[in-house]
């Protein structure tokens, strides 16, 4: 299993309700990507959110997204600025990647 957290900061001219709605749409589109088990968003504070996607493997996050995900990502970028993107993988997957790299 792999997780991807993306952190977003509301743009000054953006409505908070619009931020929540577009984050919800982004998560719904993410769940439509093959291999993504779940995606939800959380408010960090009044101006910041994080989306958290869970996938079968880290490889899922390397594939091109669907047109629906692209549309949702651009809509989210219209109301918020991406400030951080973190990918977390299970230790077993990390060790396997290390071994495949010939280490």
Q: What is the CATH number of the domain that holds 68?
A: 3.30.70.100
Residue 30 above 90 pLDDT? yes
- Compute CA 4 distance to the chain's CA centroid, rounded to the nearest angstrom: 5
pLDDT at 92 over 90: no
Q: What is the pLDDT of residue 65?
A: 87
Range of the domain at 55: 2-100
Residue 53: the pLDDT is: 98
pLDDT of residue 89: 86
Tokens coding 31: 């769940």
Question: Does pLDDT of 103 surpass 80?
Answer: no
pLDDT (mean) for 73-97 = 92
- What's the whole-number mean pLDDT along residues 20-41? 97
- What are the backbone angles phi and psi of residue 34, rounded to the nearest 5°? -60, 130
3 state DSSP class of 15: coil
Distance CA(72)–CA(59), nearest Å, equals 21
**E strand segments, 1-103:** 2-10, 36-45, 48-55, 80-89
Predicted local distance difference test score (pLDDT) of residue 90: 84
């Amino acid at each position: 299993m792999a997780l991807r957290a993306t952190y977003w900061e509301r743009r000054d001219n953006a409505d908070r309700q619009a931020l929540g709605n577009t984050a919800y749409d982004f998560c719904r589109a993410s769940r439509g990507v093959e291999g993504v088990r779940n995606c939800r968003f959380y408010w960090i504070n009044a101006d910041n959110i994080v989306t958290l996607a869970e996938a079968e493997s880290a490889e899922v996050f390397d594939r091109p997204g669907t047109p629906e995900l692209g549309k949702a990502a651009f809509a989210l970028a219209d109301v918020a600025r991406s400030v951080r993107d973190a990918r977390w993988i299970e230790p077993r997957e990390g060790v396997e990647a290390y071994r495949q790299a010939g280490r």
